């Protein structure tokens, strides 16, 4: 091999090497795109729900209440007959079986939706109004195109007759898509068309709030101690090693800790945001302490010395001068720690947050779910409608995380002083 | 009640602050003495004395009250003639008694339950009253003490700072308390587990099927059941599955992460670096449950489809899908750390290599990487410890049954999956099955601790070499 050939070969190797590097970055970026695209294409349809426009006639004979009934009377009244009478008029069905199939096109909450319309206007008896009633999950998925209709009938959840009704609805423009308020307001449900993340949102909010209230002050105080006051001795070293190790302990171990100490020993209520918040706080603490200490360390000694020189005590120099300067870094570290806590699932599963909770929690000691746990729960469900719900929940979760991370970056870039 | 108490303590503290501030001012004017600190520090001093002892007491009390009341009530119920054979039944009776007290119980109430509910009401009342009395006692005592101090014109600023410094120290101790809590809660249950199952049977057994351990009470195991149990908790399949999935993950993460780290440190322009680095780090910020969902619903079925087309049987919960997705999650851990490590290799080493005519890639391969090797190995070990501790991806995408296999297309299970599977749903206390989850947790904790220790040592040693 001549010199020139060798050189060419070396240059080819150089190019190859560079190409490998570029490819790996590209692969990593590609994956981000695929993941996001996959979730968005599956989930975006969940923000709309299919409704069937139906005429509802409030027949006095079928209702035991009068016009102008009070709220309690309406709440107690039975609207079941009204619902059946009106829904079967949506399509000319021939017999009982066909009527049953027709009724199955509406969600299980049709009665409540009619009742709500009456609650809004209690003078409807004898009148006819048009209502947009939520469609069942099967029709919803069919209408959104998530469900193939060319399968043989026995492999479909929708019968041929129901398809005929569906086509009739489409032809007469009786079926449309509305904003899915249930997805944001409702708690969990066995019916995908009624299931929502309201409960999970509140549960996550309480958990993160408790986590913030516990972890932030303790983390800031601990990092101030370690950075500014701690003498260099074995205890301090031991604390430091501990914090570094805790930050690397798998999150599921914190779940076991919570199970044994918080639930079995102190007997806090299971499945509640209170326990979740404490668990997440213990887990997040070391992850907040590390950036807090870094931002305290970044404040130059001249600031401290200046304060001490004009007669401030050590405390005053730290709390009046160093801490305010380190605050942006501290806050952004805290927000990133909380963002991690918001996405954490495994420890919450162990403390029983996987329970099926329909009610939206009204306080941190009510049983509740949380956003990531809801993702886990729904992803285990067989119904097709839950796939888009799960993806949409992930979209919500990711958008919270993006917002939190942006706030963290903004805080750091806007307020952090560069010392050099 | 607690909220009312906290509210009262807050009101006392705030009013004491203003009282202390004005009081010391008037003293100094009236007696014409020079105060030893600014008036506000006397206020702070009173606030700290008024709130901290009372709040600490309240916290400790609230932690122990339910436990104590429960044990008292269960004992009284037993004295009344209630029969329960184990902890679960005792818990059930206690919950019933509580529900009767709150008026939310709608089942049959017999005389034992009614008497116990009355006793419960009595104890709750007694405890609440004594709590209030004790807290007020503590507040009054500490106020009297601190008022006396400030009347004597103490050095309030120094005293406040001593108290605050104590508070700072206590905050930093919480990390140690957490570690102790983890160790004790894992050890406590693990010791119970190992008193039934031999440590060696656990460590070297090749069969993991905890569902066999239906025995409720660990102390009443017959010889036949013991033989059965002996073989049910073998750790080998779990560690094999965990390492196998972690290995697949590393096969994905190490090359991609390392090459992107190298490219970003050595080749990329500042602009490319500034955009691509945060985007790659997004991968580390995505919650693992999202990866799990993606692996279970998209990647797993996709692999099975591809396998079918190729004529292979691929499990939809294959180790390959879980490992691949886990590897992608770990890429940023490898890439960021190795990027940092490579960046801190001194420029003089590169210049020397260029000077003897090496190309850039030759310099990287033969000079930079060998110099950065300890740090790179450290970052890979950290990534491995992430991989074996990762839970949600494997819970959702890997299998549940433990089988020893090295075929990536079959399903395997991991330590973390088993912990979740054992502890989700109804747990029987004192059953070897529940305790085995804690033994697994302890094993996992020790394994990650060792990996992290070695990794941190490696990175630190490397840093010292070039700093």
A127 alpha-carbon distance from chain centroid? 42
Mapped onto helix, strand or coil, the DSSP state of residue B449 is helix
**Residue in chain B nearest A226 by alpha carbon:** B172
Q: B65 falls in which pLDDT band (50, 70, 90)? A: confident
Task: Say if residues A371 and B287 touch (Cβ distance below 8 Å).
Answer: no
Instruction: Print the SS3 string covering B138-182.
Output: HHHHHHHHHHHHHHCCCCHHHHHHHHHHHHHHHHHHHHHHHHHHH
Residues shown for chain B: 467
Q: Taking residues B12-25, report their average pLDDT.
A: 86
Task: Give the minimum alpha-carbon distance from A298 to chain B in angstroms, rounded to a whole number.
Answer: 18
Higher pLDDT, A285 or B225: A285
Q: B228 falls in which pLDDT band (50, 70, 90)? A: low
CB-CB neighbors (< 8 A) of B186 in chain A? 253, 256-257, 260
Residue B326 pLDDT exceeds 90: yes
Render the burial of B93-117: b for 16+ CB within 10 Å, e for the rest. Answer: bbebbbebbeeebeeeeeebbebbb
pLDDT of residue B105: 75
Q: How large is the C-alpha radius of gyration of chain A?
A: 30
- Here the tokens at position B364 are 């990287």
pLDDT of residue A372: 94
pLDDT of residue B179: 93
Q: Does B83 contact A at CB distance below 8 Å? A: no
Q: How large is the C-alpha radius of gyration of chain B?
A: 31
Cα torsion A134, A138, A139, A143 to 10°: value is: 110
Total-model pTM:
0.89
For a pLDDT cut of 90, what percent of chain B falls above it? 33
CA dist B186 and A260 (Å) reads: 8
A333 alpha-carbon distance from chain centroid? 21
Task: List beta partners, residue A53.
Answer: A132
B161, B189, B260 member nearest A25 (Cβ): B260
Secondary-structure class of domain A198-415 per CATH = mainly alpha
Q: Taking residues B354-382, report their average pLDDT.
A: 91
What stretch(es) of chain A map to CATH 1.10.3720.10? 198-415
pLDDT of residue B426: 65
pLDDT of residue B406: 81
Q: Does B175 contact A at CB distance below 8 Å? A: yes
CB-CB neighbors (< 8 A) of B328 in chain A? 28, 31
pLDDT of residue B253: 94
- Here the tokens at position B249 are 């993950």
Full DSSP string of A195-240: --SHHHHHHHHHHHHHHHHHHHHHHHHHHHIIIII--SSHHHHHHH
**Residue in chain A nearest B296 by alpha carbon:** A379
Task: Say if residues A368 and A208 touch (Cβ distance below 8 Å).
Answer: no
Full DSSP string of B282-347: HHHHS-HHHHHHHIIIIIHHHHHHHHHHHT----TT-HHHHHHHHHHHHHHHHHHHHHHHHHTS-H
pLDDT of residue A352: 86
CB-CB neighbors (< 8 A) of B294 in chain A? 35, 38-39
CA dist A289 and A245 (Å) reads: 12
pLDDT of residue A306: 94
B280, B294, B444 member nearest A250 (Cβ): B444
Residue B215 pLDDT exceeds 60: no
The burial class, CB within 10 Å (0-12 / 13-18 / 19+), for A97 is: exposed
Size of interface A-B (CB pairs under 8 A): 248
pLDDT of residue B443: 93
CA dist B395 and B360 (Å) reads: 44
Q: Does B299 contact A at CB distance below 8 Å? A: no
Q: What is the pLDDT of residues B401-422, one digit of tens each?
A: 777 878 888 888 899 999 998 8
Full DSSP string of A89-101: GGTT--SHHHHHH
- Note down pLDDT in tens along chain A; length 420 residues: 788 899 999 999 999 999 999 999 999 999 989 999 999 998 888 898 899 888 888 888 787 777 777 888 888 888 888 888 888 888 887 788 888 888 888 888 888 888 888 888 878 888 888 888 888 888 888 888 887 778 887 777 888 888 888 888 888 888 888 898 889 988 888 888 888 899 999 999 999 999 999 999 999 999 999 999 988 888 888 888 889 889 889 999 999 999 998 888 887 888 899 999 999 999 999 999 999 999 999 999 999 999 999 999 899 999 999 999 999 999 999 999 999 999 999 999 999 888 888 888 888 888 999 999 999 999 888 788 888 899 999 999 999 999 999 999 898 888 877 776
Q: B226 falls in which pLDDT band (50, 70, 90)? A: low
Give me the helices (H) in A104-197, please.
110-120, 137-143, 160-171, 181-185
Worst-scoring range by mean pLDDT, B59-73, B171-185, B249-263?
B59-73
Element (H, E) at A179: strand A175-179
Mapped onto helix, strand or coil, the DSSP state of residue B8 is helix
**Helix orientation angle between B39-80 and B111-151, rounded to the nearest 10 degrees:** 160
Q: Does B396 contact A at CB distance below 8 Å? A: yes
- Reference B120, options B147, B96, B145, B91; nearest CA is B96
Domains of chain B: 2-154 (no CATH), 236-466 (1.10.3720.10)
- Here the tokens at position A127 are 């009148």
């Amino acid at each position: 091999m001549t010199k020139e050939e060798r050189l060419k070969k070396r240059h080819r190797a150089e190019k190859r090497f560079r190409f490998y590097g570029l490819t790996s970055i590209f692969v990593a970026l590609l994956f981000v795109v695929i993941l996001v695209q996959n979730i968005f294409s599956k989930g975006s349809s969940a923000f709309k729900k299919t409704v069937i426009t139906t005429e509802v006639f409030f027949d006095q004979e079928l209702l035991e209440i009068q016009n102008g009934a009070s709220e309690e009377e309406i709440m107690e009244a039975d609207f079941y007959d009204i619902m059946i009478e009106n829904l079967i008029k949506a399509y000319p069905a021939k017999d009982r079986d066909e009527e049953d199939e027709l009724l199955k096109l509406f969600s299980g909450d049709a009665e409540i939706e009619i009742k709500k319309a009456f609650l809004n206007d209690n003078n409807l008896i004898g009148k006819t109004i048009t209502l947009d009633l939520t469609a069942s999950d099967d029709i919803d998925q069919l209408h959104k195109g998530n469900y193939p209709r060319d399968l043989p009938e026995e492999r479909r959840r929708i019968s041929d007759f129901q398809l005929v009704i569906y086509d009739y609805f489409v032809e007469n423009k009786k079926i449309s898509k509305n904003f899915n308020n249930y997805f944001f307001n409702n708690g969990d449900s066995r019916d995908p068309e009624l299931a929502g993340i309201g409960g999970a949102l509140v549960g996550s909010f309480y958990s993160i709030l408790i986590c913030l209230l516990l972890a932030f002050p303790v983390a800031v105080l601990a990092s101030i101690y370690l950075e500014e006051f701690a003498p260099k001795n074995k205890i301090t070293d031991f604390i430091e090693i501990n914090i570094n190790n805790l930050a690397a302990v798998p999150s599921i171990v914190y779940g076991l800790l919570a199970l044994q100490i918080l639930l079995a020993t102190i007997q806090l209520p299971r499945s509640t945001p209170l326990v979740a918040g404490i668990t997440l706080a213990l887990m997040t603490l070391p992850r907040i302490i590390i950036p807090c200490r870094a931002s305290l360390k970044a404040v130059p000694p001249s600031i401290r010395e200046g304060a001490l020189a004009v007669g401030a005590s050590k405390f005053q120099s730290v709390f009046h001068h160093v801490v305010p300067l380190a605050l942006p870094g501290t806050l952004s570290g805290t927000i990133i720690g909380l963002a991690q806590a918001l996405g954490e699932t495994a420890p919450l599963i162990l403390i029983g947050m996987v329970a099926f909770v329909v009610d939206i929690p009204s306080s941190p000691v009510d049983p509740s779910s949380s956003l990531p746990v809801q993702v886990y729960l729904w992803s285990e469900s067989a119904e097709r409608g839950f796939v888009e719900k799960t993806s949409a929940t992930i979209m919500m979760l990711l958008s919270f995380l993006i917002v939190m991370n942006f706030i963290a970056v903004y805080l750091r870039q806007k307020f952090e002083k560069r010392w050099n | 009640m607690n909220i009312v108490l906290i509210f009262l303590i807050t009101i006392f503290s705030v009013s004491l602050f203003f009282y202390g501030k004005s009081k010391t001012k008037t003293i100094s004017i009236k007696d014409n003495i020079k105060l030893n600190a600014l008036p506000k520090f006397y206020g702070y001093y009173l606030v700290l004395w008024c709130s901290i002892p009372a709040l600490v007491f309240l916290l400790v009390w609230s932690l122990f009250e339910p436990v104590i009341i429960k044990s008292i009530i269960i004992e009284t119920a037993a004295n009344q003639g209630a029969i329960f054979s184990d902890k679960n039944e005792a818990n059930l009776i206690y919950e019933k008694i509580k529900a009767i007290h709150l008026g939310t119980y709608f089942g049959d109430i017999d005389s034992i339950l009614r008497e116990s509910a009355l006793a419960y009401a009595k104890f709750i009342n007694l405890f609440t009253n004594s709590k209030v009395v004790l807290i007020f006692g503590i507040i009054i005592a500490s106020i009297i003490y601190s008022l006396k101090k400030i009347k004597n014109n103490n050095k309030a600023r120094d005293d406040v700072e001593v108290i605050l410094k104590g508070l700072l120290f206590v905050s930093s101790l919480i990390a140690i308390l957490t570690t102790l809590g983890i160790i004790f809660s894992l050890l406590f249950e693990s010791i119970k587990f190992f008193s039934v199952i031999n440590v060696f049977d656990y460590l070297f057994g090749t069969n993991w099927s905890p569902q066999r351990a239906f025995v409720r009470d660990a102390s009443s195991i017959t010889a036949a059941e013991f033989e059965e149990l002996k073989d049910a908790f073998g750790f080998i399949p779990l560690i094999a599955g965990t390492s196998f999935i972690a290995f697949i993950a590393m096969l994905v993460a190490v090359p991609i992460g390392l090459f992107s780290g190298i490219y970003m440190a050595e080749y990329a322009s500042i602009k490319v670096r500034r955009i691509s680095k945060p985007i790659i780090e997004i991968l580390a910020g995505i919650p693992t449950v999202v990866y799990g969902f993606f692996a279970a619903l998209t990647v797993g079925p996709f692999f099975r489809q591809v396998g079918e087309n190729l004529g292979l049987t691929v499990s939809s919960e294959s180790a390959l899908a879980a490992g691949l997705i886990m590897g992608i999650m770990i890429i940023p851990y490898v890439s960021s750390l190795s990027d940092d490590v490579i960046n801190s290799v001194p420029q003089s080493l590169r210049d020397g290599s260029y000077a003897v005519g090496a190309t850039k890639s030759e310099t990287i391969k033969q000079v930079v990487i060998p110099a950065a090797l300890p740090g790179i190995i450290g970052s890979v070990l950290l990534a491995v410890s992430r991989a074996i501790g990762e839970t949600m991806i494997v819970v959702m995408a890997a299998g549940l049954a433990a089988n020893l296999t090295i075929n990536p297309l079959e399903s395997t299970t991991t330590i973390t999956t088993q912990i979740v599977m054992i502890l989700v749903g109804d747990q029987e206390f004192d059953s070897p099955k529940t305790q085995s989850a804690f033994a697994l947790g302890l094993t996992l904790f020790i394994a990650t601790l060792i990996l992290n220790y070695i990794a941190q040592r490696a990175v630190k040693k490397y840093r010292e070499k070039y700093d």
